[in-house]
Amino acid sequence: MKLKGILNSHISKVLADLGHTDYIVIADAGLPVPQGVLKIDLALRLGVPSFEEVVSVIKDDMRIEKVTLASEIKTHNLTTYQYMKKQFSCENIELVTHEKFKELTQHAKAIIRTGEATPYANCILQSGVIF
């Protein structure tokens, strides 16, 4: 059994398999998952686990070079937007329309679904390299 880090075997495998510029999505409970994209469903009930909890755990175990958010988050979910700005340097955050965001999810290695029930609590985390 693992001593520390992410215990979820599906998430651990996805992170271990990522190459430079590959990406995963951390999603609220309502984001559609495109056909053919792996969905890792962590949702237990509304709000559990939260988007912030999952982002925090993934951030500790993944080299992230870029974060993509839907631009609508700035006006419809300022709390989550401010959280993301605190977690990641502003120069590494890209904003796109929610429609563009959903298009990008089609190329994700996996979408990790949380129980989050607030608008636009979704992010794309692009893998960096560890060397």
Answer yes or no: are the C-beta atoms of 28 and 112 closer than 8 Å: no
Q: Which is it for strands 110-113 and 64-70: parallel, antiparallel or unpaired?
A: unpaired
| Tokens 């495998």 belong to residue | 13
Q: Is 122 annotated as a binding residue?
A: yes
Q: 121 a known binding residue?
A: yes
Identity (one letter) of the amino acid at 17? D
Is 20 among the residues known to form the active site?
A: yes
Tell whether 98 is in a known binding site.
yes
Q: Residues 65, 88: contact at Cβ < 8 Å?
A: no
Identify which of 111, 116, 124 has the alpha carbon closest to the alpha carbon of residue 50: 116
70 is known to lie in a ligand binding site: no
Q: Is 10 annotated as a binding residue?
A: no
**Catalytic-role residue among 10, 20, 76, 107:** 20
Question: What is d(CA 80, CA 44) in angstroms, rounded to the nearest whole number?
Answer: 20
- The residue behind tokens 């969905």 is 39
Rg value, the chain, Cα: 14
Cite the annotated binding site by residue number: 28, 98, 120-122
* Annotated binding-site ranges for substrate: 28, 98, 120-122
**Residues annotated as catalytic (active site), given as ranges:** 20
